[in-house]
Structure 1
């Protein structure tokens, strides 16, 4: 039994606590190929990172922990995450504007490639979508609204400079 900050007793019987850390993330990154094709054996990876963990955690605590290294997200998984998030935007476009949104594969590839840094990873997808893509889509839709009824379809592409392009048309 433990007590929380207000003196209430907390029972941790039959409880698993997950703790995450970025300790040794650079070592894990080096051990795994960029394409994620060949992951090293788990026991070898744990043996590689254990000295870093031992410098940070007390031996008694580390002995009670099960070490589960998290592998970096490979490019294909990152693309799947981008597609899931873009599908939510497509759904909103259909519901709010009755507009079909088509996204070119280059857009998915570009966003996924920009999210491979360990520090930001998949969180950067939201930043790109909310900070770049959605404001530009909003601006384009507002521009279209001034010209008359909204088109039925929006195609999002990518130019040679890595900038988003937008083309409106019929389904």
Structure 2
């Protein structure tokens, strides 16, 4: 891909990649990003992250990359926005079955807290939604505890989310 602009799959088929933008992500330097994420420390942070990148990747690879962007870490509001996007899919699936889903602000905060890791960002969010919302919801739907055509509410009770 990087040399000739072609990609060959497992069956030997070749695909033209000359007019393609390839985006790669990495958690290299995430600890540095957490420590130096203030706006006035951005250049220092980027320099330190690039040093870590240089230690992990060969110069031949780095020289084939047009640009490297170092992002600021995600905050709680961004995590909540990502959670809303991921929950929209669940809402749509439930709407197809005649249910409506509502989450309290406290439930959304709890989910954002559970689904965020300073090093891995929003990656744990999908798992948090599955274990704290989808699985308990599925159990209640299968047991018949939630009536058809009803509104399903999710709120916080102590340290956990409750479905009712």
Task: Report the TM-score, using the length of structure 2 for normalisation.
Answer: 0.74
Displacement, 1:145?
5.6
Alignment-derived partner of residue 25 in structure 1: 30
Alignment-derived partner of residue 152 in structure 2: 154
Please tell me whether Structure 1 or Structure 2 has the larger radius of gyration of its CA atoms.
1
Question: CA 1:41–1:14 in 2, change beyond 3 Å: closer, same or farther?
Answer: farther
By relative contact order (CA 8 Å, sep 6+), the higher-ranking structure is: 2
Matched residue of 1:50: which SS?
helix
Q: For structure 2, which runs of at least 5 residues remain unmatched after alignment?
A: none
- Matches of 1:11 and 1:141 in 2, distance apart? 47
Alignment-derived partner of residue 143 in structure 1: 143
Question: CA 1:14–1:154 in 2, change beyond 3 Å: closer, same or farther?
Answer: closer
Q: For structure 1, which runs of at least 5 residues remain unmatched after alignment?
A: 33-37
2:79–2:122 CA contact under 8 A, matched in 1:
yes
Displacement, 1:120?
4.0
Alignment-derived partner of residue 49 in structure 2: 49
Name the count of aligned residue pairs: 158
- Matches of 2:36 and 2:134 in 1, distance apart? 36
Alignment partner for residue 163 of structure 2, among 134, 158, 166?
Answer: 166
2:155–2:161 CA contact under 8 A, matched in 1:
yes
Displacement, 1:12?
6.0
Question: CA 1:153–1:123 in 2, change beyond 3 Å: closer, same or farther?
Answer: same
Alignment-derived partner of residue 95 in structure 2: 94
RMSD: 3.1
Matched residue of 2:162: which SS?
strand
Displacement, 1:166?
2.5
